[in-house]
Structure 1
Amino acid sequence: IRHCILLSFQAKTSLRSSRRRVTQEAQTISKPHTQTRPNLHRRFLQRFLEPPPEEESLPVTTSIKYTPLEQQVVELKRKHPDVILMVEVGYRYRFFGEDAEIAARVLGIYAHMDHSFMTASVPTFRLNVHVRGLVNAGYKVGVVKQTETAAIKSHGANRAGPFFRGLSGLYTKATLEAAEDISGGCVGEEGFGGQSNFLVCVVDERVDRESNKGCGLEASFDVRVGVVGVEISTGEVVHGEFNDNFMRSGLEAVILSLS
């Protein structure tokens, strides 16, 4: 009997110790590894969530070498970024870059790669037709003409460089019909007329003769005239203020000079 009681006691003790050991192992397994080492877990989250270090940007060096004509086009395009530029080159008007792609799509002409840009061209005598086509498609068109002739260039300081060029006309749907050189009303050489199209505003104010008792020309003035004019094709603005007589001879001279 004593032997049986001893065996029973040892079995119970062994069972209790085994249960206690299993419970401790279960608690150890149920606890995550990060709870036993919170600092390591925190460092891992910081490394995982922090943004990657920014790479130092190296300076980008462009090795594009433009021709003198292309350099002119780049400068003109920088001044007029929203304008389709038609650049006079000899007996043709050329488009460059994105303008050439737009012109090829709208006008149905051929565009190809030339040096640094895509390019397309149209003959000078068809300028008015193609300007109207681009404007009717919703684009603003600028015409860039050569401002010197070959004879002047050959005897000038620019004999070794490209022709000087500048914007001579700017056309939109609002100004196209008023521009006689493009609308077909008065077409001159190479599709351009020789007249300007200024929209002029004139204001005059009577001059008090009693307060102006000088002699000579000052005593003959009756009014003070102010003039502001806008060239509707290029956007050029002119303005001035001057004294005039009752015949408005000075104003007449100014209007004639603008026409």
Structure 2
Amino acid sequence: MHVPPHPGNHRAIGAMDVAMAFLSLLLVLGGLVSLTGDRDNEFHRAVLGLDTLICSVLLLHWFWGLFTAPHKRSYLKERWIDVIASIPMLEVTRPLRLLQIWRVISVFRRHHRALEEIQDEPLEITLALAVLGVLLAITASTLVMVLVEIPDPNSPFEDAADIIWWSVVTLSTVGYGDYVPTSMAGRAVASIVILAGVSVFGAFTAYVTSLMMSASRNAHERELLTRLERLERSQKQILEELRRLGRNK
């Protein structure tokens, strides 16, 4: 049975919604990790820092959805719980993130064309994969670097905040050089992060350029078709005029 999209949005679900649901799952797992073991250590602070970063992305996505929704009241009624669940550093609301995941799963179960709608938006798919890839790379590199660099007495990293900053800067291929790993494991992680950053941003830039060129070609083809149609109409008018003149003779 076909279930139409919710009136609060222009469609049932998008690629970014799926990416945000995956990030919500990541936050739930991070919350479970933060509840175990000693909380007064850099690993726990790194988890909280990553929680804040990912929650900021979720909130940004929520407000963008509200801004672009044609029926904002319906959007608020349907997704008000998402903004509460995305408040960082608030452990009470973390279980609500499971509802974000369930909402995306339920859309796929009820709306059989949801996957087709996602596939019809290649640019959003690329953006969703880029956002997801960047955040996963930052998360993984931060947690590993906390484990291998913080215990090293020669490491320039003093706390988890330094490592999160380093992960963001390195992945973005800026590389200020203010922090350099000293351990072999840290340098191996840094190499992977650098290659991941070049790959993600390079692939995203190439794909967006390809889409823009394709759109330009399509616009040029439409213009040519319009001109051909005009020529065809002019030709028909000329032929009709010649027939009319022939009958008058």
Does TM-score exceed 0.5, indicating one fold?
no
TM-score by length of 1: 0.22
Where is the strand percentage greater, Structure 1 or Structure 2? 1
TM-score (norm 2): 0.22
